[in-house]
Structures are given as C-alpha cells and as structure tokens.
Structure 1
C-alpha cells in the first residue's frame, strides 16, 4: 500500500497578508500530527509563489521544511511568472525535473509542464521531457502501477495532450495528481484516475484542506480533509468505489461473491474501535493486520451496487466515517472495455462527490470560476 498527501496551490503572496501561507502552516502541523506515521510522501502541485518572487519562494520553503514526510514540489504557471525557475529551485525545490523515484514498490514520476512554454497557462512537456516520459514508463516492469504528478491535467496542455494521455493509459499509470483548477476534482477516463486538490490560496469553493490518497494493489482511493476537521480520519482503501474503478475484470476493484474490506485510520489512538456496515444492515468489526491496515470481510454478497461505510470511534466519542459504493459482480462474463475517448480531459469529471470533498460547483479557472 502506498499513501500520500497532496496540498493545493498555495499562491503565497504579501497581497493577502500571507494568509495562504498561514493556512499552509496549519496544514503542515495537521499533517505532522495525524499523517506522518502512515503516509510515504506529500506533494505541492505548483503555483506555490503567486508572483515568483524570491521572498515568496523563501517563505514557502521555510514552512515546507517543517513537514515530517518527504515533500515533492512541482512548478506551476505562477512559479514561472519571472520567465525562469531559478528562484523556485534556489529557495524551494532544488531537485531537477523531470524526476522518477521508486517509493515503496511504486514508480512515481514528477513533471515540469511550465518551462517548455512561454509563460502563463501555456502548459507543455516539450520534446525532451516527452521522450523521457515514453522511456521511463516504457521501462516499468509488466503489470506495475505508476503514479504521475504534474501541475495540470493533460487536457490543459497546449500541445501533446492526446499523446501524453494515451501513454499514461497504455503504460499502467494508476493515478495522476494535479493542481491548477482551484477546486477539488476527480476524473476517470476509464484507464487513469486524475485528482486535482483545492487551492490553499485564492479559494473559490469550500474550506482549505488537503487530499489523502492511497494505491492499494490496483485500487485508488481519494478523500479530502478540511483544515481543523478533527481526528480520526478514515480512508477506505479497498475495494474500489465504482466511480474510481478503471478495470471491471479486476476482482479487487469489482469484487466477486464477497467484499474484503481494507481501511486506513489516521490520527487515531490505540483505543480506537473500527467497524464496517454494508447496506445499512450488516455489521462487522475490523481488526488490524501486520501492516496496521484495518481489515474484515463480508461474505455472500449479491450482484449489484452496495453501500459500504467504515467508522472509527474513539473512547471520547470522536468519530469519522468514510463511505464508498461498491459494485459486486459474481462469476460470469464481465463487461469489455469500450473504445477510449477524450483521455485525460475533464469531460470525465465525477462532477460531485460531497462526502469526499467535491461539492460540484467547480469554481475555478478550469470551469465556472474566475481566470486567475
């Protein structure tokens, strides 16, 4: 299991009296409190400094260094406002891009889609980085799942969208993490899950927070935690919610006859009690396995859609619940994948998933909001 956090675009700026930076400080504190022992890394997806000044980068870097998990920082169009990334690298992110790291057993790729452009939202990978992406993904072992992080969806690229999105779909990329939209969004193009995390500065919709994700085998899970929403925090990591299923032949994404349940409980004490409920009528107490993942199993489950909830309850009464909708398909021929259309584009947006932090207004530069 691989677990990670993603912060939103900071847009750190003296123009708002550094309000977004103060929010980032609080989010880093929350991450250290409840997530640091269970997640492997975190990501800042770009637009870290609102106007690419050395002071803005330096201040973001000072806060980022307080995080107790490895942090990978990407550039966005606002970070490139000066026409270069020298201050970005000097004060915030000295590691070169593009870059690939194996984290746990998963290949994670971090991309720069601003340097090849002319500034502003002129997003491009460029010829050299595109060739690197082909080579790196092509060298992955057969059946391996990869993660990719970039500032925006492939559909926002000024050139190469079709090539890049088709490559991600073909080479077993499970998830692509982005920023840029200013709102929480999830896309499922039938091959890859794309997740954008709400900005921390210049928010147009909802409170600030961070997204919490996991790759559990071939199952992607994603949920947004708002700032100061309390603990514990529950994330069902398997089976897949039907909205995030990309392979209907997979028995972990689409279970058969029984539903094995796996969940992460963050920020909990040793006295926490974790239970699962299926369709509001079947109850199960989960237990920890050797890796600290909470597990259980519902047997003899009929075909169709089922509502699965996992609840963590502390001795003081504090509680949290994650709910997913699971498709079960018992032994018979499974549906075949149709032709791929509009890969990597936000036509595949889930639009609304309030319980996971997606209210559906899509207020931001990609859809219905202002053009920052």
Structure 2
C-alpha cells in the first residue's frame, strides 16, 4: 500500500486499550479501565484519532458487565471510539447484550450489518442451514489512512465449552477485499483492526485473509486476544497486539499507542502508572518495522517527527543520534507533533527523542520520557513471502524500549488457564 510522505500534518494515531474481561465493579481491571479512560480523555483534543477496544470487553458477555464500561464511557462522552467483539463477548453463545452495548456507542455511526450466514451442519448430507446474523464490521478514513474494523466472532460457532471458532463469513470477506482494493486505488495506507491474528481464523479464511494482507501490502494489523504485548513484522505488514487490561501476566497495565506516518508504522506501550509526557517517534521508521528505503537529506541530516502526548505542553523536546549533541525539536501545531533534524552518518545507529514536562524537578524518572529507535538503512530489501503469513511466526521478540517483553505469557499461549 502506498501513502504520502511524512509532512506537516499530524500522523494517524490511535490508543489501543486491550481486552477488558469485565466482571464486577470491585475488580481490579474495572478500576484500571476507569483510570485509563479518564487519563486519555484528559489529553488535548485532536492529539489522537480514536480509542480502540479490540473485543473481550465482557468476560461472560453479560449486560451487567457491559454496564461497567458503559458508565465509564458516559462520563467521557466526547471520547472518540471504535470497538469490535471478541470471543468472550459471545461466551455463552449469544451476543444480545453486546448488541445493546454496541447500539449505544457505535451504531449511530456504524450500525451492524445483517447477513445470511452458514450455521453448524445438522447432518452429513445437504447444505448447512443459514440464518440472518448481525455482524459488527465497518471502516473509516483518517486522512491518508483507511482504518478497517473486522468482526471475527459473529459468523463463527464457538462458545464456552466448545472452543474458539473465528470466522468472517463470505459477505464480510468480499467487503474486506473491496475495502483493501479501494484503499490501494485511492493511495491510502490500510490499517486493519481485528481481535486476533489472521492465522486464528477458520483454516480456509485464514489463508485467504493472510494472503490478501500480504499481496495488497496492508501496513498495520492491530489486535487483542493475546493478553501480552507483541510486535511481528513480515517485511510488508506489522502485526501488533496489546496486553489485556484484565486477566494478564504481562507487567504494568496500560494501553498501546500506534501510529502511521507516511505509510510506515510506529508503536509503543504506555504504562498507566507513568507520569506524562509520553513520546512516540513516528519518522524515521525503525529498521525492524521498515517496509521501504529511506534517504538522508543532502546535508547529511535526517528529519525527525515525534508525537508527544501530555496533559501540559513539554518545556523541552529534543533529539540526538547515538550519544551526540541534543538538537531542539519544535512544535508543528497544537496537537503534540514535534519536528526537527539531526546529523546522521553511515555509522549512526540509535535515534532518541526526549520530552520534558513543566513539572520535572530536574532529577528522577518522573515527568521526563524518551523513545529510542534504530532507523532503517538507506536500502530495505524486498522481503520473501513468509511461510506462515498472518501469524506470530515473524515475531520480533523482546523489545523493551517499546514495552514488549517477548515471553508470550497469556492464557492463549504459554500462560495461566483463565
């Protein structure tokens, strides 16, 4: 997928609040979710595009569980939101209570779509029965980015005691193909938001979706379900999963901050217990996430762009190459974008951007934050097609600067049996 080069406009940027698994009001994850919503709602308007909920909002798909997040969202009515269902949202085979929650917060902009879908076969002969089922997929454009939100749950048959069954259904598959094709024709970068890796879909659909993402160069796929932070990159597509707010073994609770700038991806996890500010370098791209070559300016410098999220404008924002001198970065608007230039040679390796909050006392780790990347070289080779596209086979492993531990602790891989 192609897109415009980084410019003066703010990068496409979203906040990903991982699977909540809400149960009762007194639970730790319910308190954490309220704190996250209050924190992101306090950010300056326009500093991000939306908050993303990747499904598994309710542990058992019950109205009493959705009431917890409904109350939190109603305290922040201006919060821009996108949400999709997860397998726990149909834990006992019904999605009626999810539908009511979706209707209150998403349906006015993106109502569900009713499709006739295959249901489980009733015998060895004859076609499977079909039933009218509501599905919760939609798409929206943000500048140079087409954001596509998928429903892996409603077309499947899975429920508690029967195992997972992630499916899109033929109608959603055709819609997805059309959305990605239209994004390419309009020179938009395509970002897909779904509950899990494409590999977790029913076998035939998994191959079709992963192949579509690879061939059409979908740039970013943002997911929940894993319960841990993970970044995987196959040379064309970055797959990013954020840890769960509830049922988690992956360190401090928080949320992920993802961005697309000039068609390249940036991602970093923010812990809830950290003070402001929060820095995310959006250009240049890190070598581990790069999809194309990047070039130095004729004077031997590289342009640097970073988003600084904070409740107050930083007193200082600066960048440097390796341990070289700091170079100032200037605000490029009121939305948290900072830009600058730094000297860059063939021997340079690390790029750091640092922001300092007005309340920093001059010492200690609070009220000061840095993001560090290793920019891609001048040439990025065309990758070979992966053996398992759409999976975690191309996981980057531990990347501590981005909040990724790399140990895959969670109930869906190597963690606790929740």
- Fold shared per TM-score above 0.5: yes
Instruction: Give, in whole Å, the separation in 1 of the partners of 2:62 and 2:313.
Output: 45
1:221 to 255, 266, 271: 266
From the superposition, tell whether residues 195 and 145 of structure 1 become closer, same or farther in structure 2 (CA, over 3 Å). same
Deviation at 1:166, TM superposition (A): 1.6
Instruction: Give, in whole Å, the separation in 2 of the partners of 1:343 and 1:265.
Output: 33
From the superposition, tell whether residues 316 and 54 of structure 1 become closer, same or farther in structure 2 (CA, over 3 Å). closer
Gaps (5+ residues) in structure 1? none
Deviation at 1:58, TM superposition (A): 2.2
From the superposition, tell whether residues 364 and 211 of structure 1 become closer, same or farther in structure 2 (CA, over 3 Å). same
1:338 alignment counterpart: 384
Deviation at 1:142, TM superposition (A): 4.8
2:373 to 306, 324, 327: 324
Q: How does 1:7-46 map to 2 (within 5 A)?
A: 7-14=17-24, 17-34=26-43, 36-46=45-55
2:181 to 118, 129, 138: 138
Instruction: Give, in whole Å, the separation in 2 of the partners of 1:362 and 1:255.
Output: 43
Instruction: Give, in whole Å, the separation in 1 of the partners of 2:95 and 2:47.
Output: 32
2:320 to 277, 287, 306: 277
Gaps (5+ residues) in structure 2? 1-10, 113-135, 361-366
Deviation at 1:203, TM superposition (A): 0.9
Q: How does 1:48-87 map to 2 (within 5 A)?
A: 48-67=57-76, 68-87=78-97
1:154 to 180, 198, 206: 198
Q: How does 1:135-214 map to 2 (within 5 A)?
A: 135-140=178-183, 141-159=185-203, 160-214=205-259
From the superposition, tell whether residues 255 and 164 of structure 1 become closer, same or farther in structure 2 (CA, over 3 Å). farther
Superposed CA deviations along residues 88-119 of structure 1, whole A, max 9, x for unmatched, are 12124543222111123321111110111111
Superposed CA deviations along residues 283-333 of structure 1, whole A, max 9, x for unmatched, are 21111224652111124x33356101111113332211111111232xxx7
Instruction: Give, in whole Å, the separation in 2 of the partners of 1:209 and 1:312.
Output: 20
Between stretches 187-196 and 42-51, larger displacement belongs to 187-196
Between stretches 305-314 and 175-184, larger displacement belongs to 305-314
Deviation at 1:57, TM superposition (A): 1.5
Bigger CA radius of gyration: 2
Instruction: Give, in whole Å, the separation in 2 of the partners of 1:270 and 1:162.
Output: 46
Deviation at 1:36, TM superposition (A): 4.5
1:289 to 308, 313, 332: 332
From the superposition, tell whether residues 126 and 49 of structure 1 become closer, same or farther in structure 2 (CA, over 3 Å). same
RMSD after superposition: 2.2
Q: How does 1:261-272 map to 2 (within 5 A)?
A: 261-267=304-310, 269-270=312-313, 272=315
2:351 to 305, 308, 314: 308
Deviation at 1:174, TM superposition (A): 1.4
Superposed CA deviations along residues 56-80 of structure 1, whole A, max 9, x for unmatched, are 1222222133343311111000001
Instruction: Give, in whole Å, the separation in 1 of the partners of 2:325 and 2:376.
Output: 16
SS of 1:326 mapped into structure 2: coil
Between stretches 66-75 and 203-212, larger displacement belongs to 66-75
Deviation at 1:224, TM superposition (A): 0.6
| Contact 1:52-1:80 at 8 Å conserved across structures | yes
| Contact 2:236-2:383 at 8 Å conserved across structures | no
| Contact 1:150-1:177 at 8 Å conserved across structures | yes
Deviation at 1:212, TM superposition (A): 0.7
Aligned residues: 365
